[in-house]
Amino acid sequence: MPPYIRSSSLSSSSGLAPFHPPAVSCYSSSSSSSLSSSSSSSSSRECRSEGSKVADVARKEDRLLRHAAAELEGMRVAGNRRRASPPLSLQRRTPASDSSEGEADDDDDDDDDVERPFPPACLRLILSLPGNASCHDCGDAKSTTWASVSHGITLCLQCCGRHRGMGVSTSYVKSLTLDHWKRREILCMLEGGNSQLTAFFERHGMGTSSLAAGSCAGALSDRYATKAASFYRQRLVGYVGRIARGGPYQGREASRGRSGGGEMRTVDVAGPPPSAEGKEAVRATMHERE
């Protein structure tokens, strides 16, 4: 065949389609890069969405804390106003009674005369604390509308009856929805918490994991009458008293940082010494009833 005859003419004359070498796709590298970029962008979007969720939760918690602090500050201001202009029944006290009770008045907070229904923002903040959504003693999460102010814990109706039987000196019980509360009592609930008391009992060998299965109900009630529980109550009341006199409430972390490293975090400061003999001796003492 003459060399000057083109393949196109040959293919047209023979009726065969011209042969073309397979072309290498020029979109392979770009498509892979686009896929990698899309995956990275999707992962970055997921990270941004997770970050935004965390930020939203933090903003909601901060907003709730500010509302609760405003409610507590309103109770403190109302107590100051009532103290500045007391009712006639308080104005008619004799000088002897004033002098005898002057030292006690200095120890009490200005808002102790004011009692109001539990503020809604403070109630939401308390129920959001770890473990407070369920009863401290039995774990029931259906009716945690009662509380032990002495320990700063939430209770169900049945366990509330047990705490009432202990006496107010051991466990002072109030309703979160029916009773009126003082500012210092609300602070006890804000600075207490079910998980905090549970951890304290566990460190002293009085947690649910350390109790016998057959005598669990009785042991749960008996541990509140021990010296360890009395120590916890006294420490909580004293700590809350200092917070009540320290100005507007700023939250658990802020108050514990302001009190010198967190007093309630180290509520077990009277715990056992390093030696095993001393540990058993102190633990036995703390288990004794008052």
Residue 147 CA, chain-centre distance (Å), reads 15
- Residue 37 vs residue 251, higher pLDDT: 251
Continuous segment of H or E residues that includes residue 218: helix 216-222
**Which tokens in the block code for residue 280?**
């058993």
- Residue 265 vs residue 237, higher pLDDT: 237
Q: Which of 80-89, 96-105, 166-175, 258-267 has the lowest mean pLDDT?
A: 96-105
- Predicted confidence (pLDDT) per residue in 155-171, tens digit: 999 999 999 999 999 99
How many other C-beta atoms are found inside a 10 Å radius of the C-beta of residue 76? 19
Residue partners of 6: CB distance under 8 A and separation at least 6: none
Mean confidence (pLDDT) of the chain? 75
**The dihedral sign for the CA sequence 134, 138, 143, 147:** negative
pLDDT above 80 (res 272): no
pLDDT above 90 (res 148): yes
Question: Rounded to an integer, what distance in angstroms lies between the CA atom of residue 153 and that of residue 267?
Answer: 16
**Which tokens in the block code for residue 199?**
């951890």
Question: Rounded to an integer, what distance in angstroms lies between the CA atom of residue 40 and that of residue 124?
Answer: 39
Could you give the domains of the chain? 56-79+114-287 (1.10.220.150)
